[in-house]
């Protein structure tokens, strides 16, 4: 319950909607039960009257009132069911939206390092399977359990009104036992298994994605069959665990149905003596047991949902753990200050420590002022901290100590990130208001325009997953184009020409240089030739 609490709070923000949705479900269920009860009463009444007439006795029956009631309940049940489905599906989608937005919010605040600790497969699982698991909370757990309880009490009340207090009490005890079996007993029998299964399924999903991603390497190493066999064995063991949970849910479902049916039989049995005493009529005797049989529909929804409770809880626990605490890690440690500067203000670092939280700083006591429009090169061997320096300026990694004032920046990271979309969509991320002419101009500057004019779709050319339809050098120039489209006053370029051959680089570098004239530039690389020309150079050692 503790793991579910933050998500329940989110769900209960829609209190009014939840009550209305549950009322519609209640109306549907009550119409179903009333339909059965009135039909049972009516059939018995017609049978009794028929027998009386056959025996030559005088008897009459009102066909219109019960017939009308049956039609009313049948139509009302359909209408309520339709409204309930439309309303509740919409509500659940709203709840899922809230949960996803809250999760994105937390992830965005959780810091670069924290996000990097999980693989893409794990994040995918969080945002899909785990979030979906939470949608069972309202529609399958909370609403049906509350309604089953309410309807049980209503039927016990009906038994008390039509039959007697004793019948009501006996029926109530049997039904409560059935309710316990369908909820808490299932929960007890499956919670741990279901939670463990959910964790294992999540691990398997990640392994399957890694298997596909590493297909070439596994094949080259001759280990593909062995690895696939391992995944299949794991999938087999998960299926067995699922079958075990299903069996337990099935048994509990059967027992709970048996108890509901038993309550109907007992009501009939006890009702007989009331009938013999003339306290109730024959048709009323049939009404209560048949209404009790209608409860099967309500109770039948519960065992499966409670069988998944462990998985829902495990999903919530993973989301709680991985969402991190909102906003915390991205903030700089105490004593470090990061300020956003307006365009036209210098970039300044004062007594700054740069590095990764929990590790010794890569740079300490470092100060620098870079006036607007000035350029700085940063050179150093692999691992000296160039990318960490750039990440800190861009706010991706927190400043460890000191003070940093930085104008808005466009950042070309060391990794080349091309989104699975068109050329245009990838470029517009740099400047959403750029025109097609501007896009072609920057592509032309980087000698990429020909690459896309050759294709029939031009700027709408689809780049494939991670830009896999581009060569390494083309992808690098495309992401450079994205950064060059931005009008940010500070531009940070980490190894801008990785994968671009020397001749092309020599042709395009002066054009990039001209394009960036007047803007503040920080360019990082292993050697001077990997950089654009800069006025000052910082050597990291």
Q: Is 386 in the site for ligand ATP (CB under 6 A)?
A: yes
Q: Is 496 in the site for ligand ATP (CB under 6 A)?
A: no
Q: How far apart are CA 394 and CA 56, in angstroms?
A: 98
Contacts of residue 201, Cβ cutoff 8 Å, sequence gap at least 6? 129, 238
Q: How far is the CB of 380 from ligand ATP (least distance, A)?
A: 5
Question: Which one among 114, 205, 227, 356 touches ligand ATP, defined by CB under 6 A?
Answer: 356
Closer to ligand ATP by Cβ: residue 259 or 379: 379
Q: How far is the CB of 494 from ligand ATP (least distance, A)?
A: 7
Q: Is 113 in the site for ligand ATP (CB under 6 A)?
A: yes
Question: Which one among 206, 380, 402, 489 touches ligand ATP, defined by CB under 6 A?
Answer: 380
CA trace torsion 383, 386, 391, 397 (10° rounding): 50
Closer to ligand ATP by Cβ: residue 196 or 356: 356
- What is the phi-psi region of residue 336: left when phi exceeds 0, alpha when psi lies from -120 to 50, beta otherwise? beta
Q: How far apart are CA 238 and CA 234, in angstroms?
A: 6
The full DSSP string for 518-540 is TSEEEEEESSGGGS---SEEEEE
Closer to ligand ATP by Cβ: residue 155 or 363: 363
In the numeric block, the tokens 């997953």 are attached to 465
Tokens coding 292: 């009790």
Q: Are 197 and 241 in contact (CB under 8 A)?
A: yes
Q: How far is the CB of 359 from ligand ATP (least distance, A)?
A: 5
Q: How far apart are CA 43 and CA 283, in angstroms?
A: 8
Closer to ligand ATP by Cβ: residue 205 or 526: 526
The site for ligand ATP, by CB under 6 A, has a size of: 13
Q: Is 392 in the site for ligand ATP (CB under 6 A)?
A: no
Q: How far is the CB of 504 from ligand ATP (least distance, A)?
A: 21
Q: How far apart are CA 155 and CA 528, in angstroms?
A: 84
Question: Which one among 383, 472, 499, 528 touches ligand ATP, defined by CB under 6 A?
Answer: 383
Contacts of residue 381, Cβ cutoff 8 Å, sequence gap at least 6? 526, 540, 541
Helix, strand or coil, per DSSP, at residue 45: helix
Question: Interface with ligand ATP by CB under 6 A: which range of 15-23, 96-104, 187-195, 376-384?
Answer: 376-384
Q: How far is the CB of 386 from ligand ATP (least distance, A)?
A: 4
Question: Which one among 23, 414, 453, 504 touches ligand ATP, defined by CB under 6 A?
Answer: 414
Q: Is 441 in the site for ligand ATP (CB under 6 A)?
A: no
Tokens coding 366: 């470092």
Q: How far apart are CA 288 and CA 263, in angstroms?
A: 10
Q: Are 365 and 350 in contact (CB under 8 A)?
A: no
Question: Interface with ligand ATP by CB under 6 A: which range of 59-67, 385-393, 426-434, 501-509?
Answer: 385-393
Q: Is 229 in the site for ligand ATP (CB under 6 A)?
A: no
Q: How far is the CB of 392 from ligand ATP (least distance, A)?
A: 9
Residue 438 neighbours by CB distance under 10 Å:
13
Beta strand pairing status for 363-370 and 520-525?
Answer: unpaired
In the numeric block, the tokens 């024959």 are attached to 282
Residues numbered 19-78 forming contacts with ligand ATP, rule: CB under 6 A: none
Closer to ligand ATP by Cβ: residue 67 or 333: 333
Q: Is 334 in the site for ligand ATP (CB under 6 A)?
A: no
Q: How far is the CB of 491 from ligand ATP (least distance, A)?
A: 18
Contacts of residue 93, Cβ cutoff 8 Å, sequence gap at least 6? none
Closer to ligand ATP by Cβ: residue 356 or 511: 356
Q: How far is the CB of 391 from ligand ATP (least distance, A)?
A: 7
Question: Interface with ligand ATP by CB under 6 A: which range of 50-58, 131-139, 384-392, 511-519?
Answer: 384-392
Question: Which one among 384, 405, 413, 513 touches ligand ATP, defined by CB under 6 A?
Answer: 384
Determine the longest span between alpha carbons in the chain, in angstroms: 118
The residues that touch ligand ATP, with contacts defined as CB under 6 A, are 113, 356, 359, 362, 380, 382-388, 414
């Amino acid at each position: 319950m503790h793991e579910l609490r933050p998500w329940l709070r989110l769900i209960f923000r829609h209190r009014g909607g939840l009550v209305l949705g549950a009322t519609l479900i209640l109306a549907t269920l009550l119409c179903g039960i009333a339909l059965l009860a009135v039909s049972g009463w009516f059939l018995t009444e017609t049978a009794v009257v028929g027998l009386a007439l056959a025996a030559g006795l005088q008897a009459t029956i009102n066909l219109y009132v019960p017939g009308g009631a049956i039609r009313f309940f049948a139509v009302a049940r359909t209408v309520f069911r339709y409204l309930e489905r439309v309303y509740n599906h919409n509500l659940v989608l709203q709840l899922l939206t809230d949960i996803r937005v809250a999760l994105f919010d937390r992830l965005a605040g959780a810091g670069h390092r924290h996000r990097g600790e999980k693989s893409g497969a794990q994040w995918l699982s969080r945002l899909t399977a785990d979030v979906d698991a939470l949608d069972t909370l309202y529609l399958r757990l909370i609403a049906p359990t509350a309604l089953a309880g309410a309807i049980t009490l209503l039927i016990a009340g009906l038994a008390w009104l039509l039959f007697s207090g004793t019948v009501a009490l006996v029926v109530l005890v049997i039904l409560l036992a059935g309710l316990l079996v369908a909820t808490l007993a299932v929960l007890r029998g499956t919670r741990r298994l279901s939670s463990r299964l959910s964790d294992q399924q999540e691990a398997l999903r990640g392994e399957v994605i890694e298997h596909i991603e590493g297909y070439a390497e596994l094949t080259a190493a001759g280990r593909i069959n062995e690895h696939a066999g391992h995944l299949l064995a794991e999938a087999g063991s998960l299926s067995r665990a699922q079958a075990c949970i299903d069996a337990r849910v099935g048994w509990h479902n059967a027992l709970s149905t048996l108890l509901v049916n038993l309550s109907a039989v007992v009501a009939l049995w006890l009702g007989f003596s009331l009938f013999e005493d003339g306290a109730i009529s024959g048709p009323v005797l049939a009404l209560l047991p048949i209404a009790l049989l209608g409860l099967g529909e309500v109770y039948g929804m519960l065992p499966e949902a409670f069988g998944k409770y462990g998985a829902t809880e495990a999903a919530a626990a993973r989301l709680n753990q991985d969402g991190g605490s909102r906003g915390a890690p991205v903030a700089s440690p105490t004593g470090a200050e990061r300020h956003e500067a307006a365009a036209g203000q210098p970039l300044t670092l004062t007594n700054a420590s740069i590095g990764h939280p929990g590790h010794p700083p890569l740079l300490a006591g470092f100060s620098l002022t870079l006036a607007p429009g000035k350029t700085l090169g940063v050179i150093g061997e692999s691992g000296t901290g160039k990318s960490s320096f750039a990440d800190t300026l861009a706010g991706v990694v927190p400043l460890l100590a000191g003070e940093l004032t930085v104008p808005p920046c466009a950042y070309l990271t060391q990794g080349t990130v091309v989104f699975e979309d068109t050329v245009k969509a990838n470029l517009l991320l740099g400047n959403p208001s750029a025109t097609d002419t501007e896009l072609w101009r920057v592509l032309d500057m980087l000698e990429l325009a020909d690459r896309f004019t050759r294709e029939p779709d031009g700027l709408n050319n689809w780049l494939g997953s991670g830009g896999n339809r581009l060569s390494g050098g083309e992808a690098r120039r495309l992401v450079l184009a994205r950064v060059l489209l931005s009008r940010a006053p500070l531009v940070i370029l980490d190894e801008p020409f990785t994968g671009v051959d020397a001749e092309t680089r020599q042709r395009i570098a002066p054009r990039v240089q001209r394009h960036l004239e007047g803007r503040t530039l920080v360019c990082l690389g292993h050697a001077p030739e990997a950089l654009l020309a800069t006025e000052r150079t910082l050597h990291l050692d």
